[in-house]
Structure 1
């Protein structure tokens, strides 16, 4: 009788760019991770051992001192409540989601659409078993801090707030409406994307990202395309120096139209996937 099958070794994709005096390893992250999921490949430990620095979206996950002010300034719109922007069916869908979490609809009504989307997305991730304190980027930062490896950020918390809050209201409403309508379906998709990525299969993530690019073009341009250009600029700056760097930003930035690897290859770099 055969013995139990050994657990499959995680093989999430790693992209590498090398020149004469520098090496940049690039991996994808999620800002929340499902409890008990083994995602870390053996290669990551080797990369961290060799890394001179680590680059994340944010250098720190501590909320800024002015967080409340940022939320009040760019996340709230009592003069344009959601109930004046969404139709009755959409409001009913939103209320159903909030009721499942014991959140009063009235407490959401003054949120700007982008901030309501962010809160609903967080609820969706928690529903799907993701831990807000278990993000891959948090794990990498913790490891790097304990190893004494400098951690830098491509963006700041304030810049991310500005990026999201700066979207046209129509774009914000599009993504909020889709999130409400596809809430249950999206929970399943999130798990499928994660499990496929851990196995080294990007096809599920590529398909979902392509759908976002097609159905929510304005949102995709702001959240992915424009930021991917910024990440690519930052990686070029890293390559102008020397040493070994680990770049770890969200999974969605490595696939789809105008992904980081695609942008860098268009700029003449050889990007190897390992």
Structure 2
């Protein structure tokens, strides 16, 4: 798998890939909610974008509610590969090998040390802008620990929707999501890159803790993991990628509740955890939100 494909699947988790059953399956029961009125039901399911293949979650109430739904709604719909490649090149790549030239001597030492620990050549990401390279650094240790992009819930759900003839749509566009990172000033992008490099020793442990909380339906634990992740981002960036988007999605859900039908909405689990979450804002707006699992 190319580095481009690894990054794209981690960030968006929407390219369709098969998943075989594992003989050592571990059953998870992640949280699931429903927002209802007289003629509309919207199921809300929080995802993690990277799982080990033995993690089984698409069963029970999640499988049942998905089967009853008319449409699948993801953060971003399954992308066209060629269009995606153009957008990533436009927003995330230099015209030539420039990345290490933009780092200070101290930053360069940290970055190249991280690349060596991952077994990657020091120039492997030289065409990437710092925000894109930071994502690539996050992928590698998880892959080495057995996490697979093909097991991502969005991937499995989109695959199931395709096979069952369910329409799939998105709350946002890929250009919008990637544009949030690309719009960061260079200094903040380099901050992200160095934090990713320094965080390598704890990357797998942190991911394990996040997945365990998610699999238990532990919303408080997922929220704690989210706060830890936000701490590695530029301080002014967290509201743009979390709070502001939650607010827009709540507006979308409230508008969609005026139309009849049944939808299955799957977004990152962090958006459904905490006092500013989609769930909390929907309840504050007076909608009936029931936790199903």
TM-score, length basis structure 2:
0.81
Which residue number corresponds to residue 67 of structure 1?
84
- Following superposition, the deviation at residue 43 of structure 1 comes to 0.3
- State which drifts further: 201-210 or 244-253: 201-210
Work out the CA distance in 2 between the residues paired with 1:256 and 1:113: 29
The answer for unaligned runs of 5 or more in structure 2 is 1-24
Alignment of 1:108-119 (within 5 A): 108-119=125-136
Query: What do you get for the CA RMSD once the two structures are aligned?
Result: 2.5
Number of aligned positions between the proteins: 267
What's the CA shift string for 1:188-224, capped at 9, x where partnerless? 1111110121112223321122234456332322222
TM-score, length basis structure 1:
0.86
Which residue number corresponds to residue 233 of structure 1?
251
Which residue number corresponds to residue 56 of structure 2?
38
- Following superposition, the deviation at residue 100 of structure 1 comes to 4.4
1:130 equivalent to 2:156? Answer no
- Following superposition, the deviation at residue 87 of structure 1 comes to 3.7
- Contact 1:172 1:219 survives alignment (8 Å): no
- Following superposition, the deviation at residue 94 of structure 1 comes to 2.3
What's the CA shift string for 1:111-137, capped at 9, x where partnerless? 222111121122233133211222110
Which residue number corresponds to residue 207 of structure 2?
190
- Residues 146 and 69 from structure 1, CA distance in 2 versus in 1: closer, same or farther, beyond 3 angstroms? closer
1:200 equivalent to 2:222? Answer no
- Residues 106 and 61 from structure 1, CA distance in 2 versus in 1: closer, same or farther, beyond 3 angstroms? same
Alignment of 1:19-98 (within 5 A): 19-63=37-81, 65-77=82-94, 81-98=98-115
1:266 equivalent to 2:284? Answer yes
The answer for unaligned runs of 5 or more in structure 1 is 1-6
